[in-house]
Structure 1
Amino acid sequence: MHINKKSRAAAGAFVVAILAGGTAACGSDSDSSDMSPAAAVKAASEKNEKITSLSYKIKGTYPGQGKVEGAAQMSVKPAAMSMKLTTDTPGQPGEVEIIMVDEAMYLGGTPEAAEEMGGKRFLKMDLSGLDQAGKGAAGGPGKVPGQVGQNPAAESGFLDGADDVKKIGTATVEGEKTTQYRGTVAVKDLRASLKDEKAETRKQREKSLKQYEDLGVKNLTMDIWITEEDRTKQFRMQGDTGQGKLDVTMTFGDVNKPVTVKAPPASEVMDLAEMMKDVEAEPAA
């Protein structure tokens, strides 16, 4: 028995979604359009830390994965996520459904996955303890637990470190009037600035920043669209890597509304841990 290409692709696609991170924000009595660009971005970033749940859409290009597009809903505490994602990864294009709940991740959800796994629609990966143990290569399954369920505002906070934040203009995003801001920051400067952050904020941003460092990103260019209610509606991140262009946009819908995520029926699940036991038990050729 082996772990097929579609399962590996699904795992990679899941990391894409988490790395894209993004941001969303709670409402406020202030109007970001009346603030300086730096103040507007900082105000939205600070409110993002109060997020408990959100829904969003993701679209763009990720190094090694090609184009990605999907939609998700997630809860920060307890950590849970439900996502459907489409990729055009060279040689392995397709759709994948990702469910994360109760310290387990389920990948698959398509007829193609069921065909590859003897009728089982989902591959289950146990996430408990992986992050603490530091298992897995950068960007691999061992890094997933630290990102899943993390407040996505950790990403938008990076724009606070840009010295060139400027107002680009106004735009209507999914029916909401927004003001767009843009800035560029060096990843090395982001790393240096972490020492000045609060412990919890620093912990969140370190996990996200490590992913960009592993990709070889030197500079991040970020755009953020903030509504008249001081809520971030959309977030775009771009950067050059050794594997190609990173360019991902996240657009946000519901914020701090109840999110329910359920594990797939046991009859539809193949457990990765059990698969590995079977592999180890097989006699050597």
Structure 2
Amino acid sequence: MAMAAWKRAGVCLTAAAVVVGLAGCQDGDGGGSKKKAGASSGSAAQSRTEAAEVLQAAFKKTSEAKSSKVRMTIETSGAAAQGGTMEMSGVQGWDPAVMDVTMKGGGFAAAGPGAPEQMRVIMLDGVMYMDMGAEQAAEMDGKRWVKMDFKALADATGDPKIQKQMTGGLENMNQDPAQQLALLLESPSLKHVGPEKVDGVEAQHYKGTLSFEEMIDANTSFDLLSKEERDELVATAEKSGMKGYDTEIWVNEDDLPVKMVVGMTMAQGTTKMTSHFSDYGAKVEVEAPPAGETFDFMEMLEELQSLGAGGTA
């Protein structure tokens, strides 16, 4: 085949890492700030209070909107940059969580010759569908879509810890701007930067920083873990050089986010995610691909096992 089974799997995992991995970074508590920031005084405290009031209003408006168009760029530097820059654009919905986007970038090229230059990705009911293109369909009896059911994958591992981590974030698998607002509200350093124009729209710029441990405390997906598991996760992050999350949000006059930037620093490099949002309330009609055109990722894993570690299809 023009694309070996392991290359197809690599492309799928690249797409999944972008959608699911980033969702974990963007998961707030789903209801605004859970705790008060650390002690501060004077104008700094007043500034944070005023910023929090604006973002609370933005959280409410964004939650009610339930959908938007999104355009995202993920940039990496250092050793983490081997996958290159990834771009994603399309429509998304939250409550319920759905997504229909097109992804492209260096991460796919890393899978080798025959990998698609871009890929359409659909998220629906906790399942991710990836369009591998016409070439894939010709090689797989007309099946161009790969289906990745995360709950099924979690169950297949037989590892309770992995199951908790994977299924705990199922409802957050799209880049929900309301959740990022909730997370930023937890930042003790939250502040108002000032007015700026974004995509031709007047907006107010806010920013804040969360340590990895503060992010864990604010993220309800990690409530499924025991104290020992949480401590282990924090220790692992510290060993990897994870410094925390720097978040910036621009809110327009309608109390809706028009741009978000999330930066992460680790020992192997940095990651910066820049998202632009528009058309809040846009109609999102997402349907799963026909079953006859779909190939299950679990079957792909079985195929890889039959081929062996170095096999080609």
- Matched residues in 2 for 1:95 and 1:9: separation? 10
Deviates more, 1:52-61 or 1:108-117: 108-117
Of structures 1 and 2, the larger Rg is shown by 2
Structure 1 counterpart of 2:99, one-letter code: M
Partner of 2:50: 36
Matching residue of 1:252: 277
Partner-residue secondary structure (3-state), 1:161: coil
Deviation at 1:84, TM superposition (A): 0.7
- Are 1:184 and 2:219 counterparts? no
Q: Which moved more, 1:177-186 or 1:59-68?
A: 59-68
Contact residue 153 and residue 298 of structure 2 kept, 8 A: no
Match for 1:16 among 15, 18, 32? 18
Tell me, in whole angstroms, the C-alpha distance in 1 between the residues paired with 2:135 and 2:8. 8
Q: 2:110 aligns with which of 64, 76, 91?
A: 91
1:54 and 2:56 aligned: no
Q: In percent, how many aligned pairs have the same letter?
A: 24
The answer to whether the Cα contact below 8 Å between 1:7 and 1:123 also exists between their aligned partners in 2 is no
Larger deviation, residues 100-109 vs 243-252? 100-109
Aligned equivalent of 2:293: 268
| Letter matched to residue 103 of structure 2 | L
Residue in 1 that maps onto 2:38 = none
- Distance (whole Å) between structure 2 residues aligned to residue 134 and residue 72 of structure 1: 34
Query: Is the alpha carbon distance of 1:277 and 1:65 closer, same or farther for their aligned partners in structure 2, counting shifts above 3 Å?
Result: closer
Q: Secondary structure at the match of 1:172?
A: strand
Per the TM alignment, residue 278 of structure 1 is displaced from its structure 2 partner at its CA by 5.8
Q: How does 1:57-136 map to 2 (within 5 A)?
A: 57-62=71-76, 63=80, 65-89=83-107, 91-92=110-111, 94-114=117-137, 117=140, 119-128=142-151, 130=153
Name the CA distance, whole Å, in 1 between partners of 2:191 and 2:303: 57
Contact 2:151 2:167 in 1 (8 A): no
The 2-side partners of 1:152 and 1:213 are apart by 24
Partner of 1:28: none
Residues of 2 paired with 1:186 and 1:69: CA distance? Answer: 26
- Distance change >3 Å, CA 114–CA 141, structure 1 → 2: farther
Normalised to the residue count of structure 1, the TM-score between the two structures is 0.73
Tell me what 1:27 maps to: none
Query: Is the contact made by 2:22 and 2:175 (CA closer than 8 Å) also made in structure 1?
Result: no
Distance 1:42 1:274, change over 3 A: same
Using the size of structure 2 for normalisation, the TM-score is: 0.67
Q: Is the 8 A contact 2:93 2:284 kept in 1?
A: yes
Q: Aligned-pair distance for 1:258?
A: 2.6
Structure 2: stretches of 5+ with no match in the other structure: 28-48, 225-229
The residue that corresponds to 2:45 in the other structure is none
- For the 8 Å contact 2:5–2:303, the answer to whether it is kept is no
How far did 1:36 drift?
2.9
For the Cα contact (< 8 Å) 2:169–2:221, is it kept in 1?
no
Distance change in 2, residues 1:255/1:87 (3 Å): same
Matched-pair contact (CA < 8 Å) for 1:73–1:81 = yes
What is the number of residues matched between the two proteins? 264
Identify, as 1 or 2, the structure richer in strand. Answer: 1
The Cα RMSD (Å) is: 4.0
More helix per residue: 1 or 2? Answer: 2
Q: CA deviation at 1:261?
A: 0.8
The 1:281/1:111 distance shift into structure 2, 3 A limit, reads closer
Q: Which residue of 1 aligns with 2:190?
A: 165
